[in-house]
Amino acid sequence: QTQIAEDKLKSGDRKGAVTMLQSAAKTAIQMGDTNAATVLQENATVLQSGNELSESAQKKTRIASKTQLQ
């Protein structure tokens, strides 16, 4: 989900990226990973507010999604 969000963001589909990040956050909550959910939701909120994700935020998103998969 986070990879799809990243791809959507690169193609200019901000709304699609937000949706995918929120979906990934819900998945993280279901898996009991509140830390990952927080990171993902915060990034979705940043995008929704019209701001860009920093490189650091993108990196945290990738780490959060990898943590989920383990």
Closest alpha carbon to 61 in 22, 14, 30: 22
User: CA 38 to CA 59: how far, in whole Å?
Assistant: 14
Mean pLDDT for 5-21 is 91
pLDDT at 70 over 60: no
Residue 2, pLDDT score:
81
Residue 4, pLDDT score:
87
pLDDT, tens digit (0-9, with 9 covering 90-100), for 16-68:
999 999 999 999 999 999 999 999 999 999 999 999 999 999 888 888 877 65
pTM across the whole model: 0.84
